[in-house]
């Protein structure tokens, strides 16, 4: 199938389906100008300025032991997110969710763009958390203004007790949030008729499992990604195109 046929086939499947799961990764937000975490144009490649793997710098251990170093790289992420905005792909996803009452979004992204674009919180699972709002690790006070917090000397500290602030994000070496994992697997257990992987490398078990379970049950699994992923050879349709423009075309075909 050519691109137009692939998009039309997916649009028809979405129209007919009730249970839909859209899984989004950094490739979707890359179309907003936000750097991807890995690969071409990645925000981090290899080691940090300090000569350590970025996974070590952005770990829960580093936040506890050397919060100023962990925050050096958290601040880079935060500034990149604040400098960009949701793109047409995020808005197309939100529009699709408005039309399909059992369309869920599972995102690996921590930028909050799905919420900003209008995806309903009740059907949005931000599996790696969010960059805002920050909260104090000592007293729990919430600091809503991420931009103001990043303007402070690093690490940003609580204006009430002086404790170090952190975002509600899952750092390396930290466990995923039980509530989020529980929501995901409750919905996976109900089954999905269509799973669409959008701009993700599909390298985590909680990405692979919903897709493969859908396929095993006779459902349709589609990938939208100009780059090859761990699932490219196994999906039913691989659309090798940018996420944002493809989702716009999909929404037009769906209409």
**Mind telling me the catalytic residues?**
128
User: Helix or strand or coil: residue 176?
Assistant: coil
**DSSP at 47:** B
- Cα distances (Å, whole numbers) of residue 41 to 31, 33, 35, 218: 12, 10, 6, 36
Paired tokens of 202: 């599909």
Instruction: Measure the CA–CA gap between 139 and 224, rounded to whole angstroms.
Output: 43
Burial 53-70 (b: 16+ CB within 10 A, else e): ebebbbbeebbeeebebb
The CA-based angle 87-195-109, given to 5 degrees, is 40
For the chain, give the number of residues. Answer: 255
Task: List CB contacts of 3: < 8 A, sequence separation 6 or more.
Answer: 239, 241
Task: List CB contacts of 38: < 8 A, sequence separation 6 or more.
Answer: 26, 44, 45, 201
Paired tokens of 253: 């075909």
């Amino acid at each position: 199938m050519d691109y137009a046929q692939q998009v039309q086939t997916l649009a028809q499947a979405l129209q007919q389906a009730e249970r839909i799961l859209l899984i989004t990764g950094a490739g979707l937000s890359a179309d907003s100008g936000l750097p991807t975490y890995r690969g071409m144009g990645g925000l981090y490649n290899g080691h940090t300025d300090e000569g350590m793997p970025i996974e070590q710098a952005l770990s829960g251990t580093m936040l506890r032991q050397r919060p100023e170093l962990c925050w050096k790289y958290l601040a880079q992420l935060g500034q990149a997110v604040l400098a960009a905005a949701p793109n047409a792909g995020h808005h197309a996803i939100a529009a699709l969710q408005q039309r399909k009452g059992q369309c869920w979004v599972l995102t690996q992204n921590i930028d909050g763009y799905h919420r900003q674009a209008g995806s309903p919180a009740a059907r949005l699972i931000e599996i790696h958390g969010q960059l805002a709002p920050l909260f104090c690790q000592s007293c729990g006070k919430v600091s809503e203004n991420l931009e103001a917090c990043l303007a402070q000397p690093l690490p940003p500290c609580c204006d009430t007790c002086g404790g170090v602030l952190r975002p509600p994000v899952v750092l390396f070496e930290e466990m995923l949030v039980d509530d989020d994992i529980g929501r995901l697997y409750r919905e996976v257990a109900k089954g999905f008729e269509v799973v669409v992987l959008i701009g993700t490398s599909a390298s985590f078990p909680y990405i692979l499992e919903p897709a493969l379970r859908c396929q095993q049950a006779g459902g349709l699994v589609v990938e939208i990604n100009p780059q090859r992923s761990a699932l490219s050879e196994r999906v039913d349709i691989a659309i090798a195109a940018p996420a944002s423009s493809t989702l716009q075309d999909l929404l037009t075909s769906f209409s």
